[in-house]
């Protein structure tokens, strides 16, 4: 692990500690965009790696110094006027850190041993995404995106012009107001009809919404599964989800909502939150008296939502049982095969779907010439290229077998050229794919407490909640063949 000075000594690119050890650019050249574009990296410097020594502090101080000179746009303040500008903006940034985050930054220690910028200060600044230095990172990414946008902005003059507007609208006087590039583009096209909030508002809500207030919350849960039906391979599955939020509210209010789930689902054990979430309460145990005293856990969140739809949180469940169990057997020769498929729904799975299909692809065989299905009531269709079958189960499993469906097929192929070739899926080595989607259901039983949603300051808003559960990658291998891939794509 080496620092910048050691890297400079080892590098053949430059001898100056103020120059880049990869491209050799000096601080003066770094402000010349056209020259920087033409610079070539010395790839030999990559072998020294990226040092993590004091990374928190160094990145923090780098962004601080960029912020101090945001209005100056020079790497050094030489004149008295420039120095006074830098000093005033530095004082403003230091005051905001102290008032909003309780951090004392860039203050020399009385002992003379450096400044107050230690590792803990930098870590707290970066972890607080709402008020911290992450604003500067987003600003740099936005400026980089504008300069690299050759589709909408062809010439370098247009990009510099948009960059100037981005700085004026995004952080006037060095105060971040809006840093999202797409929102800046929208503001520039409708700047007369848009209203920019005060600087105290979050940077992600620059435009005031007027009209009917609504909050839309959607839980989208998915399952990935690999099932083999063989002793050599254990079936695997993953169930994960995301809670999406779209809030059309006036001003920049705080929203408090509750998420509730069974204790044994483990939803809250591996849950991550969007950076706009300000507070996450501890788990609260709740007893469901209506269902055999079932133990539930509740967690409250408080957040100030962005203007656009966003993922409020992501989670992974710890379910031991896969919601759907499938058995697939295929035997035969290259010209004719017999297939048997059985599908079992786990008792907790909802028996109502938008669709439930099974794709049966064939590899290294000729075109499908004949299909005999039993029972005949099932809908089995042949694809246009005659290399795949589609079994459409429909919206619900049969009433006689509420949680089960089965299909027996006899498929014949032509003697012609192989339509779909695969060097591994030969003979009985094959698989099927299960695709389904159901509404108003999550297998983890994670729910949103719609009545518990609170808005501060108090205002009335229409609450819309929804949930869905779908297959993302559900592959079942032939239990009478060989497994050629036992991992998710």
461 pLDDT above the threshold of 80: yes
Does 458 share its domain with 361? Answer: no
Does 278 reside within a domain? yes
Does 420 share its domain with 328? Answer: yes
Q: How many angstroms separate the CA atoms of 95 and 89, rounded?
A: 10
Largest CA distance in the chain: 90
* Least confident stretch, 40-44, 89-93, 466-470: 40-44
197 pLDDT above the threshold of 80: no
CB-CB contact of 461 with 214 (8 Å): yes
Half-sphere exposure of residue 390: CA atoms within 13 angstroms, side-chain side: 13
Question: Per residue in 14-44, pLDDT tens?
Answer: 888 888 888 888 888 887 777 887 878 777 7
Does 31 reside within a domain? no
Does 447 reside within a domain? no
Does 332 share its domain with 435? Answer: yes
Nearest to 271 by CA among 300, 241, 244: 241
Give 198's DSSP letter.
P
Radius of gyration of the chain (CA): 30
- Confidence category of residue 129, pLDDT binned at 50, 70, 90: very low
* Least confident stretch, 25-34, 284-293, 437-446: 284-293
- State the total domains in the chain: 3
Give me the pLDDT at residue 27, please.
Answer: 80
From residue 82, how far is each of 65, 74, 95, 205 by CA, in Å? 14, 9, 20, 32
More confident residue, 159 or 435: 435
Does 21 reside within a domain? no
> For residue 223, how far is the Cα from the chain centroid?
17
Long-range pairs of 415-418 with CB within 8 A, sequence gap ≥ 24 = 415/335, 415/366, 416/366, 416/367, 417/366, 418/363, 418/364, 418/365, 418/366
Does 310 share its domain with 292? Answer: yes
Torsion on CA atoms 180, 183, 188, 190, rounded to nearest 10:
-160
Give me the pLDDT at residue 110, please.
Answer: 66
82: part of which helix (H) or strand (E)?
Answer: helix 80-96
Average pLDDT over residues 46-50: 69
Question: Per residue in 299-353, pLDDT tens?
Answer: 999 998 887 788 999 999 988 889 999 999 999 888 899 999 999 998 889 999 9
0.85 exceeded by the pTM?
Answer: no
Strands 272-273 and 454-456 come out as unpaired
Question: Per residue in 200-258, pLDDT tens?
Answer: 455 555 555 566 889 999 999 999 999 998 888 889 999 999 999 998 888 778 899 99
Does 159 reside within a domain? yes
* Least confident stretch, 41-45, 46-50, 146-150: 46-50
The mean pLDDT value of the chain amounts to: 81
Q: How many angstroms separate the CA atoms of 473 and 489, rounded?
A: 8
Residue written as token pair 């929804």: 466
297 pLDDT above the threshold of 80: yes
Question: Residue 300, exposed/middle/buried by CB under 10 A (0-12, 13-18, 19+)?
Answer: middle
Question: Per residue in 345-398, pLDDT tens?
Answer: 988 899 999 999 999 999 888 899 999 988 777 789 999 888 899 999 888 887
Does 294 share its domain with 354? Answer: no
Does 429 share its domain with 342? Answer: yes
Does 330 share its domain with 182? Answer: no
Nearest to 235 by CA among 341, 358, 328, 351: 328
* Least confident stretch, 55-69, 96-110, 294-308: 96-110
Strands 214-227 and 462-477 come out as parallel
CB-CB contact of 425 with 483 (8 Å): no
Q: Which domain holds residue 348?
A: 324-441
Does 331 share its domain with 423? Answer: yes
Question: Which residues, 6 or more positions from 26, have their beta carbon under 8 angstroms from its beta carbon?
Answer: 16, 18, 19
73 pLDDT above the threshold of 60: yes
Does 302 share its domain with 338? Answer: no
Give 418's DSSP letter.
-
Q: How many angstroms separate the CA atoms of 467 and 465, rounded?
A: 7
Task: State both tokens at 66.
Answer: 């960029």
Give me the pLDDT at residue 10, please.
Answer: 80
Give the CATH number, domain containing residue 414.
Answer: 2.60.40.1170
From residue 257, how far is each of 215, 250, 260, 272, 273 by CA, in Å? 11, 18, 10, 16, 13
Does 254 share its domain with 176? Answer: no
Give me the pLDDT at residue 356, please.
Answer: 94
Does 277 reside within a domain? yes
- Confidence category of residue 196, pLDDT binned at 50, 70, 90: very low
């Amino acid at each position: 692990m080496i620092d910048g000075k050691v890297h400079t000594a080892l590098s053949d690119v430059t001898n100056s500690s103020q120059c880049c050890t990869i491209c050799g650019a000096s601080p003066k050249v770094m402000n010349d965009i056209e020259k920087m574009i033409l610079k070539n990296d010395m790839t030999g410097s990559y072998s020294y790696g990226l040092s993590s020594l004091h990374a928190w502090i160094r990145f923090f101080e780098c962004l601080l110094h960029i912020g101090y000179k945001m209005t100056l746009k020079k790497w050094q303040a030489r004149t008295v006027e420039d120095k006074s500008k830098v000093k005033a903006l530095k004082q403003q940034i230091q005051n905001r850190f102290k008032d909003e985050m309780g951090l004392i930054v860039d203050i020399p220690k009385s002992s003379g041993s450096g400044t107050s910028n230690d590792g803990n200060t930098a870590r707290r600044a970066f972890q607080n995404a709402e008020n911290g230095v992450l604003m500067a990172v987003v600003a740099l990414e936005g400026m980089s995106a504008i300069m690299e946008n050759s589709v909408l902005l062809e010439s370098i003059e247009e990009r510099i012009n948009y960059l100037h507007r981005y700085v004026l609208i995004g952080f006037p006087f060095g105060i971040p107001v809006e840093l999202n590039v797409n929102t800046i583009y929208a503001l520039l096209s409708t700047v007369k009809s848009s209203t920019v909030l005060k600087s105290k508002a979050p940077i992600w809500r620059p435009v005031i919404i007027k009209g009917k207030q609504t909050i839309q919350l959607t839980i989208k849960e998915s399952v990935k599964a690999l099932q083999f039906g063989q002793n050599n391979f254990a079936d695997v599955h993953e169930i994960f989800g995301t809670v999406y939020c779209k809030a059309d509210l006036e001003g920049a209010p705080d929203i408090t909502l509750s998420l509730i789930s069974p204790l044994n689902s483990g939803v809250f054990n591996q849950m991550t939150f969007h950076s706009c979430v300000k507070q996450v309460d501890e788990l609260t145990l709740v007893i469901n008296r209506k269902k055999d005293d079932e133990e539930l856990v509740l967690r409250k969140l408080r957040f100030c939502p962005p203007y656009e739809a966003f993922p409020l949180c992501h989670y992974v469940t710890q379910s031991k049982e896969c919601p759907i169990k499938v058995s697939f057997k295929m035997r035969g020769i290259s010209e004719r095969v017999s297939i048997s498929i059985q599908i079992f729904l786990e008792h907790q799975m909802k028996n109502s779907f938008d669709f439930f299909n099974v794709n049966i692809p064939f590899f290294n065989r000729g075109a499908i010439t004949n299909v005999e299905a039993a029972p005949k009531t099932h809908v089995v269709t042949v694809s246009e290229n005659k290399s795949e079958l589609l079994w459409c189960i429909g919206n619900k499993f049969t009433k006689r077998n509420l949680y089960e469906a089965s299909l027996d097929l006899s498929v014949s192929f032509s003697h012609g050229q192989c339509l779909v070739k695969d060097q591994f899926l030969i003979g009985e080595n094959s698989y099927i794919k299960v695709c389904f989607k159901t509404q108003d259901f999550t297998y983890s039983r994670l729910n949103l407490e719609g009545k518990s949603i609170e808005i501060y300051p108090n205002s009335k808003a229409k609450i819309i909640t929804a949930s869905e559960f779908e297959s993302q990658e559900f592959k079942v291998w032939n239990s009478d063949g060989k497994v050629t891939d036992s991992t998710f794509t």
